[in-house]
Amino acid sequence: MDRRSFVKAAGVAGIAGLAGCTGGPSEGSQETTATTTEESGGEETTTAEQTTEESGPAANVGMVYALGGLGDKSFNDAAKRGIEQAESELGIAYDEAQPSAAEEFPQFQRRFAQSSNPDYDLVSCIGYAQKSALSETAPSFSDQKFMIVDDVVDEDNVASYLFREEQGSFQVGYLAGLITTQEFSAGSGSTTADSKSVGFVGGTETELIRKFQAGYEAGVAHADEEISVDVAYVGSFSDSAKGKEIATSMYDNGADVVYHAAGGSGLGVFQAAKEQGKFAIGVDSDQSQTEPNYADVILASMVKRVESAVYTSVENVVNDEFNGGSTTTLGLEEDGVAAVYGAELGSEIPQDVKDSLSESREAIIAGDIEIPTTTE
């Protein structure tokens, strides 16, 4: 059931039109497919063209993605993999909404919550920026189950999922620090022998992204406290041109490796790395796989398994085990975050570097290494 049609969302009053495309099968038929297309205000919604048996799907799920939308090869696409896995393995059906501005979060959240055809069993809110809207939406729809990724909404009908981004970022920071202190060449990149410098490019300067920065800087310092870390923020998760400009400046100033936590803006970091013959580190997804054109400069990615949070939340609803009012935190120990070596360059990374990362991972899990979650 991988057929999809991209459609324009209806206005706020058009919830029936938005949701009605996932109605059940008609009388006497074994399966039914339907799609609806409506226009309004530039908002974009992707509606799953569904095939349902007479019994209907195991659950209906509404997905409200983070800003930047699908195709970011990172955060939102990871959430998409989770709901696709749930569709394949659990037999659920889902619809998708891609807000273009934060002001649209409450509109989409409410549309799914108000729908009666279908009646959504779960509304998934992807990204910390949805907290404010969901804090108002959830109490207004106390019978509706919600989940949120990357923040906590303290309501009985909201399951919250957090990640220990600082732990995974420490690991890739440690990798970057170890690489910049030695002569290393692989793929299209190489280090500069007389430079011990790395960079960090963030999307927007928020508490969450500063966790990535704090962990990364701590990991770099764990390798060598004399390594300089150049830090800059794009101000957006969808401005690859600005991301490239910032990263190019870092490479020009001597950085051997740049780690980004910038969503779609991170594409520019990869472009700069390739042009400058340096290295980059991806985020959220294994970006050596999602951005194969840059696999020859991507040392590793700080994978954040958003798909696991999405899948688990849906599975809980299907099994009548919804954990509303609770917070689930996923770190290295739970395999919620991890430093994943690049598909093309991983085999080139020296074994002593890999051994050091393995040792630090165990030390973090054991509590022997404390990692800050905020920057100074």
Render pLDDT for 94-118 as a digit per residue (tens, 0 to 9).
999 999 999 999 999 999 999 999 9
- Tens of pLDDT, residues 121-158: 999 999 999 999 999 999 999 999 999 999 999 999 99
Average pLDDT, the chain: 88
pLDDT at 226: 96
For 199-233, b where at least 16 C-beta lie within 10 A, e where not — what string? Answer: bbbbbbeeebbbbbbbbbbbbbbbbeeebebbbbb
> Given a cut of 70, is residue 31 above it in pLDDT?
no
* pTM over the 0.85 mark: no
- Sign, CA dihedral 246-249-253-254, equals positive
- Tens of pLDDT, residues 205-234: 999 999 999 999 999 999 999 999 999 999
> Given a cut of 50, is residue 272 above it in pLDDT?
yes
CATH 3.40.50.2300 domain residues, the chain: 4-163+307-330, 165-304+345-366
> Given a cut of 90, is residue 180 above it in pLDDT?
yes
Rounded to the nearest 10°, the torsion over CA 131, 134, 135, 141 is -170
Q: Measured between alpha carbons, how far is residue 72 from residues 40, 144, 267, 353 in Å? A: 24, 29, 9, 30
For 351-360, b where at least 16 C-beta lie within 10 A, e where not — what string? Answer: eebeebbeeb
Three-state DSSP class for 338? strand
Pick the CATH number of 4-163+307-330 from 3.90.1150.10, 3.90.1010.10, 3.40.50.720, 3.40.50.2300: 3.40.50.2300
pLDDT at 54: 57
Bridge partner list, 48: 4
Bridge partner list, 85: none
Tokens of 250: 């870092």
> Given a cut of 70, is residue 34 above it in pLDDT?
no
pLDDT at 194: 82
Cβ distance 171 to 360 under 8 Å?
Answer: yes
> Given a cut of 80, is residue 312 above it in pLDDT?
yes
> Given a cut of 90, is residue 49 above it in pLDDT?
no
- Tens of pLDDT, residues 357-374: 999 999 999 999 999 999
> Given a cut of 70, is residue 46 above it in pLDDT?
no
Mean pLDDT computed over 48-76? 82
pLDDT at 53: 46
Pick the CATH number of 165-304+345-366 from 3.30.70.60, 3.40.50.300, 3.90.180.10, 3.40.50.2300: 3.40.50.2300
- Tens of pLDDT, residues 317-344: 999 999 999 999 999 999 999 999 999 9
- Tens of pLDDT, residues 259-269: 999 999 999 99
